[in-house]
Structure 1
């Protein structure tokens, strides 16, 4: 039994919600609190979305997103908003949804069947590297784990126009780590923990590159070594947990600070 399945006795799932949806809500709310703990927030902006389980939504592409106007530290399992790919609220939530959130996320959820979770950040290191002409370079322990795993998408302005979706999908292909040029970082995955592991590695690579470039010229990692590192990076592989152990450890830390996300 994972940490997220062990709820305090005082917090019970809503009788109106399928248990699988409640579990997804708790997991996603926990992730928002983890982002807050890591300093990955951008006021009330940016998004983490999670597809509603097929046991609830069937073949429909429904997903959960943060209520626009709330800080990540205020997100809970109950106040997450369930929407469809057109941004229509499906659960009667009184909270609005940011169009700049669901346009990109919906395009990925709709266009990539395996994209169960999508995460997007504007961290200082992520945006800084996204603004570099050459993007993320093959110069550190973390960047080489993502060798040939990163996609780039050119900046087209604030992401509120649906017509950008096909171009975004074309540029992403099957790569799960994405640098949105002049904008920020994005990751998608088969599970929420896997998506988190990819995004954490990508952001960490950007942090190290930013620190390295501040000191001078970086020493590149040879192509064959980088390729081997990418093959050996097992933290993204479902056969090796795909980030579940790391995510569970961070959930335990959040629980010690404030477990109100479970409400």
Structure 2
């Protein structure tokens, strides 16, 4: 966004995170007022932006985002509420992963469906193959995320960019908001394809060597994702409703 040059780093982060929320709403990935996307504030260690609890994703604007510390506590001079159990997931990952500048956690239908399947994500599509060897799994432990569960969650995520929370939802991390969003879009697409494909008893699965090679090619040595896609997505959002910037 060319207008970014007139904003400071926090304002830029606010605009891009608000855009991420709006794009999720457009794709119907939201779940009433639940689930969260958090982003680190550049130059402010242990300070993050997150949605106010009670707002839907399509209502989020840059100015409505709340500024919190790593415990999910509001910084002074703000009003609003953060879902404490929701930020427990985000805080644990932000503390453990310096590269996790953005953490997305969603309750999309296809992602939950695949997370509930014993074998998890299968290499049934190119979208899914991208995650072979690069996807974590975390077993469902109930609503309350304790500190000890946070440790297990971080361990299960490891260095992966994405994870399926069993019976719960999807999670991605990114070095940028754009990367977390594009990885999430790819993961959800892979899950949607799997749910559709499993309606047939006659599935074609690529061979192990093809899967291994394609996974390596698609991972591309961990090159940053979202660099090309994100500006196009922002242009789309600007055409539909630019109020996310407010």
Which residue of the partner structure matches residue 73 of structure 2?
88
Provide the secondary structure at the position in 2 that maps to 1:89. coil
CA contact 2:30–2:106 (8 Å) conserved in 1: yes
Provide the secondary structure at the position in 2 that maps to 1:88. coil
Residue 24 (structure 1) aligned to one of 6, 10, 13: 13
Rounded to whole Å, the distance in 1 between the matches of 2:165 and 2:198 is: 20
- The TM-score with structure 1 as length reference comes to 0.88
Which residue of the partner structure matches residue 50 of structure 1?
39
CA contact 1:129–1:210 (8 Å) conserved in 2: yes
CA contact 1:198–1:236 (8 Å) conserved in 2: no
Provide the secondary structure at the position in 2 that maps to 1:146. coil
- Give the direction of change, closer, same or farther, for the CA distance of 1:159–1:256 in structure 2 (3 Å limit): farther
Rounded to whole Å, the distance in 1 between the matches of 2:211 and 2:166 is: 23
Rounded to whole Å, the distance in 1 between the matches of 2:200 and 2:160 is: 31
The number of equivalent residue pairs is 246
**Which whole-Å deviations, capped at 9, do the CAs of 1:64-107 have from their partners, x for residues lacking one?**
10011001111111110011111210142211001122100000
- The TM-score with structure 2 as length reference comes to 0.94
Rounded to whole Å, the distance in 2 between the matches of 1:149 and 1:108 is: 16
**Which whole-Å deviations, capped at 9, do the CAs of 1:4-43 have from their partners, x for residues lacking one?**
6278xxxxx6xxxxx1111100110011011011111100
State the Cα distance separating 1:259 from its structure 2 match: 0.8
- Give the direction of change, closer, same or farther, for the CA distance of 1:131–1:3 in structure 2 (3 Å limit): farther
- Divergent runs of 4+, >4 A: 234-237
Q: Is 2:236 aligned against 1:253?
A: yes
Which residue of the partner structure matches residue 5 of structure 1?
4
In the alignment, structure 1 segments of 5+ residues that lack a partner are: 8-12, 14-18
In the alignment, structure 2 segments of 5+ residues that lack a partner are: none
Q: CA RMSD in A?
A: 1.7
